[in-house]
Structure 1
Amino acid sequence: MKVISVNLGKRKTVTWKHKTYETGIYKYPVNEPIFLGETDVERDDVIDRKYHGGIEQAVYAYGENHYDFWKNLYPQLEFNFGIFGENLTVKELWEENIFVGDVYKLGETILEVTKPREPCVKLGIRFNDANVIKQFWETTKSGVYFKVLKTGHVKCDDEFILHKISKNTPSIAEVFQKKGS
């Protein structure tokens, strides 16, 4: 797995289906390294701290390998990296091969796999279609949340180096499937 885009977002107020939301899901690629802190990514606005940010959800990574699947379902959208709200867009991220508790070295950081991302209304807002939430649950393309064990900078082309394998833990895909059923 290799980082192909680092993405940041600013707080944005949107009106969708006659309701106003504050969101940080509108993330876009940046051309400099990003700093992964203990509870979030520096300069990345996190709005709903119940579901984003914090120790267990400090960094969100999503697989570039999943983009074509979504492009086929939503050909009208412009698919920039970060569209899923991810801080890291990663080449060859397969949730079936990533296990809760696995530890990776990435750039200057050490990251521990914690859980899959659960889709919420903000993903529907970003896609301008609430159906994406149900479709997201029907896949194993959840992406991965990480805890930051060692803070530091990450940049494009940094590779995930497996530092510690977690034994007898479920894959991110397995955890996601159980939550969605």
Structure 2
Amino acid sequence: MKILSLNTGRVHPLLVEGQSHVSGIRKSPREGRVAVAPLGLEGDEQADLSVHGGLSKAVYAYPQEHYAFWQTVRAQARVAGWNEPLAPGALGENLTLQGLTEKDVWVGDVLRFADCDLAVSEPRQPCFKFNAVMGFNQAAKLMSQSGWCGFYLAVLKPGSLQAGEDFALVPGPREVNIAELFRAKMRRA
């Protein structure tokens, strides 16, 4: 398991169905080591702290394994740039991971890096801004249906991270996994 890309972004205007909203969903890859503090990665911002960010949602991780699906559905929807590969961070994630998907991770599990520990806290719930960055209005619905939501992480041990870094998964209490919790939350939404 490893970090393929470490991504951050600043809050910028985002046009959604003709209206301007502020958002930090657009992330770009970073080079070198990046500091990780209790509220997230150095240089990263969130616009709406009621749904993103904070201590329990300081870092957002997304499996690279799902990128091919999003590339395909964008091509079918013929969104602008559909024929170009999605860049890491395109789904708003801070960590583009390889080797760990929602079905394999549980609330309370710890991702142990050389200089940092991050605890799995909850699944991401898609919003209208996700539709805007993906380029079509069914993106949030497809995330809900597929369960390929990624997951939020709380910072247990601050430190630093870098793309290419391997990590270990330290099992938590194993009471509910991210895929199950996401399905339960989507049924209630």
Q: Shorter-chain TM-score category?
A: over 0.9
Match of 2:89 among 82, 95, 112: 82
Tell me the CA shift for residue 168 of structure 1: 4.1
Match of 2:135 among 128, 131, 140: 128
Alignment check: 8 A CA contact 2:108 2:174 kept: no
State the match for 1:137 in structure 2: 144
Alignment check: 8 A CA contact 1:77 1:127 kept: no
- Between the two proteins, what is the percent identity of the paired residues? 32
Tell me the CA shift for residue 112 of structure 1: 0.7
State the match for 1:176 in structure 2: 182
CA-atom RMSD in angstroms = 1.2
- Describe the SS at the equivalent of 1:174: helix
Alignment check: 8 A CA contact 2:107 2:174 kept: no
> How many corresponding residue pairs?
180
Tell me the CA shift for residue 21 of structure 1: 0.5
CA-to-aligned-CA distance 1:114-151 (integer Å, 9 cap, x gap) = 00100011101101212101011001211010110111
- State the one-letter code of the partner of 1:128: G
For structure 1, the residue ranges without an aligned partner over 5 or more in a row are none
Give distance in 1, aligned partners of 2:15 and 2:48: 16
State the match for 1:41 in structure 2: 41
- Describe the SS at the equivalent of 1:138: helix
1:31 maps to 2:31: yes
State the match for 1:22 in structure 2: 22
Q: How does 1:153-164 map to 2 (within 5 A)?
A: 153-163=160-170
- Describe the SS at the equivalent of 2:156: strand
- Describe the SS at the equivalent of 1:85: coil
State the match for 2:78 in structure 1: none
For structure 2, the residue ranges without an aligned partner over 5 or more in a row are 76-81
- State the one-letter code of the partner of 1:179: K
Runs (4+) of structure 1 exceeding 3 A deviation are none
